[in-house]
Each structure stands twice: as C-alpha cells, then as structure tokens.
Amino acid sequence: MSDTIDRRKLAEKVVVVTGAAKGIGRAVAVRCLDEGADVVLVDRDEAALNDAAEILKASLDGGGSSRFSLVAGDISAESTIRTMIDTALDRHGRLDGLVNNAGVFGEYNRFENNSIESFDQMIAINVRPAWLAMKYAKPAMLASEGGGAIVNVASMAAMRANRGLSLYGMTKGAVANLTFNAATEFAKYNVRVNAICPGPIDTDMLGTVEEFIDARHSDVARTKITETIPLGRYGKPEEIAAVAAFLLSDDAGFITGVRMPVDGGQSLE
C-alpha cells in the first residue's frame, strides 16, 4: 500500500496573497502552490494577474487551475479585502494563511516636500489594507479551525532612516508595529503574525529605486546598492517566498511577532 499522506509544507492549507501578479507576491503564490496550498491571488493589475495565472497553469498538472483563484482589485478598497477573504472561504473552503505583500514605493522626496495627498495615499495602500485584511482574516481563520498564520511584507526601511523615503519608511514601520500588536492579541487563538523585512530584492520596484538614485545610469545605481550588501548581490523574489512559506507553515509553529530581516546582511553594516 502506498503512503498517501501529502507531506508538503502547506498541504491542505488555503493562502491569500496580495500583490501576487508580479515580483515578490507572484513568487510567494508559486511557492505556496508548490508546497501544496490552494492560493487566492490578489492584484490591481488585471493583465499581469492573468499572465501570472498562465504561468501557474503551465506549472501545475492538468486540473490544477482549480487550486487557485484570482481577485482583480485595488487593496485600498475595503470591498477587495472582503472579496479576497470570501473567495478563500467560498471557493476553497477555508483560510489558513494571509500574505500582506502588495505595496508601493511612492516618491523620493525631502521630508518637507511630501504632500498631504502622498501621505494619505501611502497609508491607504501600504498600511490600511494590511490592517483590514488581518482584522477580517482572524475570524475566517477561526471559523476554519486550527488557527492560522499571517505574514506581512514590511521592509528594512521599517527599522532605519533612508533619506528621501520618510513616507515609505513610515508605512513599513506601521506594518511592523501592527505585526507585533496583532501577534500579541491573536496568539491565544493560535493565529501567528510575523513580518518579513526584505532588503534590496530584484523586482520592478527596485528598478524604480535605481532610477531615483541615477535616472540615466541604472547600472551605476545597481552597483552602488550592491556594494552595501555583504552577500554582494540583490536578493531574489524566490528567497522571500521561501521565508514566507516557512512562516506560514507548521514548522514555524512557535514563531510569532518577529520582524525577520532577509537582506543579505545589509543591516549589519
């Protein structure tokens, strides 16, 4: 008789991932599917979301496309947050994991030159949806029984000053703070809440950073940033996805409230 127990890290779990059309979010969605989870992918870029779905379909065996759902919407709208949680419950039967990953970098600006509109927009995209999603995920996880795990993608910018990036840093600091506050309050329900703090990861967002540093010579900017990283390279989205999968899994069952740097050692120097 063959052993039919599925030993993959996230077997039988259902995970919602925001910002899943590209970059880190897409890598997280791919990894969660590889680890056996059903996944709800959420993004406001519908075309990129459909492209991601094609990639997923190609990597899954026949019939595997029933293992993921797409929610096209802007996470700054409460309705998108409700829809993504409802989709996990209605189409996949439960909710075990949430990855609050979608975020924007905003603009490089001197502290006093930031507008009230930019401030409000950064909160509306980088902070409020993560808070709302945690708030709505908790009862859905409890209804599914067995607890749950939430992973918030913050940034090393949560822990340190970066000239010209005060609004981005503020939002990531807020996400880190919500992480350990929610971790404390949700612990008695066995819902763990952790944050990943990536350093420079090779995605479109980092391309924007390079352009800000040196609009004409992004290769020069890349070299400058790389020189600040002891491991001597940018991180890959898959390297954040691996940490997210671990934190979502039962292997991390005794870990809650951490802000985990994944930065090639950049914060050491």
Ligand X SMILES: NC(=O)c1ccc[n+]([C@@H]2O[C@H](COP(=O)([O-])OP(=O)(O)OC[C@H]3O[C@@H](n4cnc5c(N)ncnc54)[C@H](O)[C@@H]3O)[C@@H](O)[C@H]2O)c1
In whole angstroms, how close is the CB of 174 to ligand X at the nearest point?
Answer: 12
In whole angstroms, how close is the CB of 86 to ligand X at the nearest point?
Answer: 17
Residue 168 among the catalytic residues: yes
| Backbone phi, psi, residue 177, to 5° | -65, -45
**209-248 positions binding ligand X, by CB under 6 A:** none
Give the side-chain half-sphere CA count within 13 A for 233: 5
The contacts of residue 5 (CB under 8 Å, 6+ apart) are none
Q: Which of the ranges 33-41, 180-188, 199-207, 220-228 carries the binding residues for ligand X, by CB under 6 A?
A: 199-207
User: Which residue lies nearer to ligand X by CB, 102 or 149?
Assistant: 102
User: Which residue lies nearer to ligand X by CB, 105 or 144?
Assistant: 105
Q: Which residues of 158-197 are buried (b: 16+ CB within 10 A; e: fewer)?
A: bbeeeebbbbbbbbbbbbbebbbebbeebeeeebbbbbbb
In whole angstroms, how close is the CB of 110 to ligand X at the nearest point?
Answer: 21
**177-196 positions binding ligand X, by CB under 6 A:** none
User: Which residue lies nearer to ligand X by CB, 21 or 167?
Assistant: 21
In whole angstroms, how close is the CB of 25 to ligand X at the nearest point?
Answer: 5
End-to-end Cα separation, the chain, in angstroms = 55
What is the rounded CA–CA span in Å between residue 29 and residue 199?
20
Question: Is 44 near ligand X (CB under 6 A)?
Answer: yes
User: Which residue lies nearer to ligand X by CB, 16 or 102?
Assistant: 102
User: Which residue lies nearer to ligand X by CB, 1 or 268?
Assistant: 268
Which listed residue (10, 40, 69, 76) binds ligand X by CB under 6 A? 76
What is the rounded CA–CA span in Å between residue 214 and residue 191?
43
In whole angstroms, how close is the CB of 228 to ligand X at the nearest point?
Answer: 12
Q: In angstroms, what CA-CA distances link 169 with 155, 160, 209?
A: 8, 8, 14
What is the rounded CA–CA span in Å between residue 77 and residue 69?
19
Beta-ladder partners of 99: 17, 151
Size of the site for ligand X (CB under 6 A): 27
Provide the sign of the torsion angle of the four alpha carbons 30, 32, 36, 39, taken in this order: negative
In whole angstroms, how close is the CB of 269 to ligand X at the nearest point?
Answer: 17
Catalytic residue among 108, 168, 189, 234: 168
| C-alpha radius of gyration, the chain, whole number | 18
Go through the chain and tell me how many residues it has. Answer: 269
User: Which residue lies nearer to ligand X by CB, 44 or 144?
Assistant: 44
Which listed residue (23, 106, 148, 169) binds ligand X by CB under 6 A? 23
Give the side-chain half-sphere CA count within 13 A for 58: 6
**85-144 positions binding ligand X, by CB under 6 A:** 101-104, 125
Residues that bind ligand X (CB under 6 A): 19, 21-25, 43-45, 48, 74-76, 101-104, 125, 153, 155, 198, 200-201, 203-206
Active site residues: 168
